[in-house]
């Protein structure tokens, strides 16, 4: 008679086989989240967002082919977890949303990695809760405080690095992350201190920027470090502006992109780094200021780029502008005012139209409001319509601000994402349309820019 194995052993064996059968190019998260308000989980990786479906009983199973580790955040309602997913290794997460801290349990081959990231987040949050206090300190005291956080992170990395199940690649990445996160905080201290301590000036010690000495920016590993990308982006912009002699607000200007391309080639010898930062700066330029005037930079990028996915992405970004370039008929749209009355662009035919896409939470947008008010006062009797279209998701916040400020020009809410028709990726964005409904400038100068008034005053029949 054949002896039967206990059920527990059968299930354990099945689990082992299941784990062993996970493809080496597959990242995988499974688990159960109880009492979640939403049936969706979102895995955020850089700018990419993958939605994970969760069953009614709280279980979920997410799998994706990936040739490299995925770093990002897993959001569950208002909770979130830092995650580092390695192809061929699985992660399981079990928790009750109502008792999150006491019920959160990790499993799978990435259990140790997940526990490290959770512990790191707690340490960072503890320091972050004292943001106002920390940034209100004198520079020397802030540096001591920030050094203490770096020490905590360093000890944490050392603790987990000695564990067999921990990933060596992640350990190296975390050491770079800890260093650059501190660098960015030191770099931002002066600005943050002025804000939180309500000071007009904050004088830094002469050796404050010593952290820049010995920095090696040509390492492709830095492309996986968000803090490093933030630092390098700032460095490239400042260096390009300084060496090119450009002054004032140069963001979005084709000549500034050309200067940044020159700085990128001078800064990096690694082809991977050159391509990555050319791609990033091209994308921002195209999204924010149209592809106009950057043919040379596009040609240069296409000549050296190897990443076919990113090449296709740039071409797509360029193509979406084709229908709204100068001389094209502006796409019609319908928006509503605070009374719920609908307005369409076509009903303003015969008048010039100046459109402002903005939001109440946008600092740069609010900085333009005094100039927009003055523009309206000076041009209200001329043949031009000025309209602000809010992209606020919180419609009540928009209504509250418009009412409190008493804006007299047209105020509309973009509830149906009409802004997409004008490729609005950054706000504020301004569009100027002629009396026939054709586009004059899909990215007109800001109201604070003197060139806008010159442009408007030169319009025939204004």
pLDDT at 15: 42
Going from N- to C-terminal start, the domains of the chain cover 18-107, 110-215, 220-319, 334-457
Residue 434 has pLDDT above 80, yes or no: yes
179-195 average pLDDT score: 94
Tens-digit pLDDT profile for residues 131-168? 999 999 999 999 999 999 999 999 999 999 989 889 99
pLDDT at 297: 98
Sign of the CA dihedral with 369 first, then 374, 380, and 384 last: negative
Asked if 190 contacts 204 with a C-beta cutoff of 8 angstroms, the reply is yes
Protein fold of 334-457: Glutaredoxin (3.40.30)
Residue 8 has pLDDT above 80, yes or no: no
Alpha helices in 56-198 (DSSP H): 100-103, 111-128, 131-135, 139-161, 168-196
Q: What is the Cα–Cα distance from 249 to 256, expressed in whole angstroms?
A: 10
Q: What is the pTM of this model?
A: 0.80
Tens-digit pLDDT profile for residues 82-117? 999 999 999 999 999 999 989 999 999 999 999 999
pLDDT at 73: 86
pLDDT at 39: 63
242-258 average pLDDT score: 91
pLDDT at 47: 64
pLDDT band at 360 (very low <50, low <70, confident <90, very high): very high
Q: What is the Cα–Cα distance from 5 to 406, expressed in whole angstroms?
A: 78
- Out of 17-26, 111-120, 409-418, give the one with best mean pLDDT: 111-120
Task: Please list the residues that pair with 81 across neighbouring strands.
Answer: 74
Alpha helices in 27-110 (DSSP H): 100-103
Average pLDDT along the chain = 90
pLDDT band at 287 (very low <50, low <70, confident <90, very high): very high
Percent of the residues in the chain that have a pLDDT greater than 70, as a whole number: 94
Asked if 374 contacts 350 with a C-beta cutoff of 8 angstroms, the reply is no
- Degrees, nearest 5: CA angle 72-92-46: 10
C-alpha distances in Å from residue 450, one per residue of 325, 375, 426, 445, 457: 22, 11, 21, 8, 11
C-alpha distances in Å from residue 385, one per residue of 68, 248, 395, 410: 52, 29, 23, 8
105-107 and 59-65: which strand pairing? Answer: unpaired
pLDDT at 68: 87
Residue 16 has pLDDT above 50, yes or no: no
Asked if 15 contacts 7 with a C-beta cutoff of 8 angstroms, the reply is no
Q: What is the Cα–Cα distance from 303 to 311, expressed in whole angstroms?
A: 10
Tens-digit pLDDT profile for residues 34-68? 988 776 777 776 667 888 888 889 999 999 998 88
Residue 189 has pLDDT above 70, yes or no: yes
Q: What is the Cα–Cα distance from 85 to 69, expressed in whole angstroms?
A: 5
Asked if 329 contacts 413 with a C-beta cutoff of 8 angstroms, the reply is no
422-447 average pLDDT score: 95
Torsion angle in degrees (nearest 10) through CA of 266, 223, 135, 198: 60
Q: What is the Cα–Cα distance from 68 to 167, expressed in whole angstroms?
A: 13
Question: Could you give phi then psi for residue 355, rounded to 5 degrees?
Answer: -105, 135
pLDDT at 329: 96
Residue 377 has pLDDT above 60, yes or no: yes
21-38 average pLDDT score: 86
Q: What is the Cα–Cα distance from 250 to 322, expressed in whole angstroms?
A: 24
C-alpha distances in Å from residue 354, one per residue of 110, 194, 375, 431, 446: 54, 35, 11, 6, 11
Asked if 359 contacts 329 with a C-beta cutoff of 8 angstroms, the reply is no
pLDDT band at 178 (very low <50, low <70, confident <90, very high): very high
Sign of the CA dihedral with 81 first, then 84, 85, and 90 last: negative
pLDDT band at 341 (very low <50, low <70, confident <90, very high): very high
Q: What is the Cα–Cα distance from 165 to 265, expressed in whole angstroms?
A: 40
pLDDT at 328: 96
pLDDT at 294: 96
pLDDT at 3: 42
Alpha helices in 268-305 (DSSP H): 271-289, 295-304
Residue 18 has pLDDT above 70, yes or no: no
- Residue 84: exposure state from Cβ atoms within 10 A (0-12, 13-18, ≥19): buried
Protein fold of 18-107: Immunoglobulin-like (2.60.40)
Q: What is the Cα–Cα distance from 422 to 391, expressed in whole angstroms?
A: 13
| Residues 6+ positions from 266 with CB-CB distance below 8 Å | none
pLDDT at 72: 85
Q: What is the Cα–Cα distance from 364 to 405, expressed in whole angstroms?
A: 17
pLDDT at 2: 41
C-alpha distances in Å from residue 304, one per residue of 80, 293, 311, 312: 38, 20, 10, 14
């Amino acid at each position: 008679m054949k002896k039967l194995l206990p059920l527990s052993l059968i299930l354990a064996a099945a689990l082992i086989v299941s784990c062993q059968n996970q493809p080496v190019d597959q990242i995988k998260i499974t688990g159960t989240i109880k009492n979640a308000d939403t049936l969706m989980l979102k895995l955020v990786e850089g700018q990419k967002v993958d939605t994970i479906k969760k069953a009614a009983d709280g279980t979920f199973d997410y799998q994706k082919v990936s040739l490299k580790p995925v770093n990002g955040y897993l959001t569950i309602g208002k909770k979130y977890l830092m995650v580092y997913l390695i192809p061929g290794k699985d992660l399981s997460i079990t928790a009750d949303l109502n008792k999150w801290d006491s019920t959160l349990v990790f499993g799978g081959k990435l259990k140790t990695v997940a526990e490290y990231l959770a512990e790191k987040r707690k340490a960072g949050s503890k320091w972050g809760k004292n943001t106002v206090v920390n940034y209100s300190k004198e520079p020397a005291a802030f540096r001591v405080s920030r050094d203490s956080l770096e020490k905590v992170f360093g000890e944490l990395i050392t603790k987990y690095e000695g564990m067999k199940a921990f990933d060596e690649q992640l350990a190296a990445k975390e050491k770079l992350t800890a260093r650059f996160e501190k660098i960015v905080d030191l770099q931002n201290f002066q600005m943050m201190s002025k804000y939180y301590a309500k000071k007009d000036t904050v004088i830094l010690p002469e050796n404050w920027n010593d952290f820049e000495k010995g920095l090696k920016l040509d390492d492709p590993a830095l492309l996986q470090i968000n803090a490093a990308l933030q630092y390098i982006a700032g460095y490239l912009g400042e260096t390009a502006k300084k060496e090119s002699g450009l002054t004032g607000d140069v963001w979005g200007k084709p000549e500034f992109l050309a200067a940044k391309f020159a700085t990128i080639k001078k800064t990096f010898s690694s082809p991977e780094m050159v391509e990555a930062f050319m791609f990033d700066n091209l994308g921002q330029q195209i999204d924010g200021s149209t592809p106009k005037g950057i043919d040379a930079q596009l040609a240069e990028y296409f000549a050296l780029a190897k990443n076919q996915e990113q090449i296709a992405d740039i071409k797509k970004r360029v193509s979406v502008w084709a229908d709204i370039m100068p001389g094209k008929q502006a796409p019609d749209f319908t928006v509503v005012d605070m009374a719920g009355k609908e307005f369409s662009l076509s009903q303003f035919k015969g008048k010039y139209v100046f459109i402002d896409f903005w939001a109440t939470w946008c600092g740069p947008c609010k900085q333009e409001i005094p100039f927009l008010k003055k523009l309206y006062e000076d041009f209200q009797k001329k043949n031009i319509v000025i309209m602000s279209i809010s992209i606020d998701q919180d419609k009540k916040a928009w209504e509250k601000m418009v009412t409190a400020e008493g804006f007299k020009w047209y105020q509309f809410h973009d509830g149906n994402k009409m802004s997409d028709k004008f490729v609005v990726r950054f706000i504020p964005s301004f569009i100027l349309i002629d009396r026939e409904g054709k586009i004059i400038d899909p990215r007109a100068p800001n109201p604070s820019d003197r060139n806008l008034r010159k442009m408007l005053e030169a319009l025939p029949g204004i």
